[in-house]
Amino acid sequence: MTVELRQESTQGPERDPEAVAATPVVPRRRNRERLHALDGLRGVAAFIVVLHHLLLVAQPVAQPSGEPALWSVWWWLERTPLKLLTAGHEAVLVFFVLSGAVVVLPALRRIDFSWPGLVASRVVRLLLPAWAAIAFATILLVIVPRLPAQVTGGSWLARQVQSDWSWPRLVVQLSLMGQVVPYDNVLWTLKWEFLFSLLLPGFLVVAVVLRRWWLPTGLLAVGLGVAGTVGHIQPLEYLPVFFLGTLIAVRLQAIERWSESRGAKRVLVVVLVVSLLVLIGEFLLAPVVRMGTDGSHALIGLEALGAAGIVVCAGAATGLRRFLEHRVPQFLGRISFSLYLVHLPVIATLAFALGDWNWPIVAAVGLPLALLTGWAFFRFVEKPLHKVARSAKRGASRAVERYIRSSRAA
């Protein structure tokens, strides 16, 4: 979820948000240097994750128990397309599809692509900022005590957010390999990002070999994801989502050419609408398919199809692409990984300090504070690590080349 959206390399030039124009940030012509729209989509998805966690703070206090009453505020928020604004888990699936697409593009576009270099770069780009985010979360936890009485018993904050700390537990959390990372809950996704990086050559080979049969191949990947979700098999639940992104990357030029043909835009509008509805199908159909059942889990598995459709529409020549190329989505895209890493410690700290019954204040203060903290984390932590990642990539590539040359000489 944290990859630079470039086709020529996994690390792109930085852009000053103050210098960006108010109209589309990039020309509408096809840009081969940077997939700006996908960058903007990544930013919008990160913002939705922030709104999702703010909603989780409010829910135990403000949401009535049981099914939301028809036409109530919570019905509008949970049972209509407005759910797209706070669909956090679904936004993560969009991240996974994006990673599957943009990480693969350099392997398709460059003859000097180095998989060991990519892995080394990804370790630096993902692991070091994650460690810094855990350190930041721990500092906040120490400074602002998290008293259980400040949040509703049995709520998400009470169950999932760390309320104390210890050195042994902190060391375990730094591995990022657990099912949850309570010091900064969002970091659970990085385990799958790492695993995808290791499996990338296999994913790419399969996608290239089966590119002509992209539709049945994509549907098979969705089917595997549904089976994994229903059967609670996490590798089967998440890895096919990355593969869908890889398949999109292999077909990207064909998608772009087709999107500029007559009649394609109308089809893409339908695809976008259907994809958005599929992405939140679990919530829209909750009155009919009760949450927690196998049917509901199957709908969750199908969300990957919606995420893939949204990424296709963002990469094609559509109005969505033009929207995502504007200033605000581009700024959010630039700080998206940092915002994703640090927003939850900020929101959790405010909720414990003020009490979750003061959720309107938590939301009013937490949203701008999370954005400001995300920008600062990008400026002073993530951005400097970009150079380290480039150095690690070059070093790993050269080490492999030297090893191959020495092996041949022997």
Locate 253 and state its tokens.
Answer: 């030029």
Portion of the chain with pLDDT greater than 70, in percent? 90
Average pLDDT for residues 323-350, to the nearest whole number? 97
Over residues 147-173, the pLDDT tens digits come to 999 999 999 999 988 888 878 778 878
Locate 216 and state its tokens.
Answer: 């049945």
pLDDT at residue 130 tops 80: yes
For 150-169, b/e burial (b = at least 16 CB within 10 A) is bbbeebbbbeebbbebeeee
Over residues 70-107, the pLDDT tens digits come to 999 999 999 999 999 999 999 999 999 999 999 988 88
Locate 205 and state its tokens.
Answer: 């080979």
Amino acid at 355: G
Over residues 25-70, the pLDDT tens digits come to 444 444 444 689 999 999 999 999 999 999 999 999 998 888 899 9
Which H/E stretch holds residue 349? helix 327-354
Q: Rg of the chain's alpha carbons, rounded to an integer?
A: 21
Over residues 258-273, the pLDDT tens digits come to 998 988 999 999 999 9
Average pLDDT for residues 136-146, to the nearest whole number? 93
Global pTM value: 0.89
Helix axes 234-250, 214-230, angle to 10 degrees: 160
* Whole-number Å distance between alpha carbons of 246 and 234: 19
3-class DSSP state for residue 289?
coil
